[in-house]
Amino acid sequence: MKIIIHGGFFSESQTNQEVKHAKQQALKDIVQAGYKYLLSHTALETVVYTVCLLEDCDLFNAGTGSQIQSDGKIRLSASLMDGKTQKFSGVINIEDVKNPICIAEKLMAYDDRVLSGKGAKEFATNNGVAYYNPEIPQRRREYEQKLSDSIRLGTVGCVALDVYGNLAAATSTGGKGFEIPGRVSDSATTAGNYANGFAGISCTGVGEDIVSGSVATKIVTRVTDGMPLSAASDKTLDELKPFDGFAGIIGISADGNFYHADTHPYMVWASCDGEVEVFD
């Protein structure tokens, strides 16, 4: 049983030790909680549970603490993929909810499994999801002052391998901040979140670059075709170089290998297979 998580990219880690230590501790606590949950739950259940914890931590750009878009509103996207059943579900640009990954989980039971905007919000309301404002004062200050130098980049994500040998991946984002309303990130697409019986991948970075490189699906396809996870990841990220693509990945293969890599450090991550490892 193994689990790996990420908290996106951020620049503060290189200059602000307080922020770095806070993120290290948060990721350590969350990956340990996720691993404990994995001991008695499936990979699919675990990635939802763990991404909820990440969404609830305002150090990261997902759920509570998400970026504000150019029209002053917060819109969230998240997706979930079950490597065993090959089902993918997600929500795109949903407003006024706390945990978009939980709505993606509810959609797994439906034929129409990826919803956006108003339709996603109506589905959430009809399924008993309460109104929630994910804005925090820091994000409002950044928006009003139109700052960008302190904004955290990326998303949150989790990949898990359970005791039955099944893989699952989940990814959630609050967007990049100040984007055009309606912009779609990679997080609720198979370019940013993908799993099958051979590997699971969650991405972070610039969504347009990740979609252009079809990053998660390429890596998993290459592993399926026999390439080691590390080689498949490195080759796929190398293919982003011609357009200076900005991306990071976490992954687990069916044989239990962890891997994480990025094109533009600093991606923050943590893993656990009984022992915890955290970015430094």
Q: Measure the CA–CA gap between 239 and 243, rounded to whole angstroms.
A: 9
Q: Measure the CA–CA gap between 80 and 105, rounded to whole angstroms.
A: 7
SS (H, E, C) the chain: CEEEEEEEECCHHHCCHHHHHHHHHHHHHHHHHHHHHHCCCCHHHHHHHHHHHHHHCCCCCCCCCCCCCCCCCCCEEEEEEECCCCEEEEEEEECCCCCHHHHHHHHCCCCCCEEEHHHHHHHHHHCCCCCCCCCCHHHHHHHHHCCCCCCCECCEEEEEECCCCCEEEEEEECCCCCCCCCCCCCCCCCCCEEECCCEEEEEEECHHHHHHHCHHHHHHHHHHCCCCHHHHHHHHHHCCHHHCCCEEEEEEECCCCEEEEECCCCEEEEEECCCEEECC
155 is catalytic: yes
* All residues at 6 or more sequence positions from 16 whose CB lies less than 8 Å from its CB, including other chains: none
Sheet holding 247-253, edge to edge: 193-195, 199-205, 247-253, 258-262
Structure tokens at 113: 């499994």
| Catalytic option among 46, 64, 155, 236 | 155
Q: Which are the catalytic amino acids?
A: 155
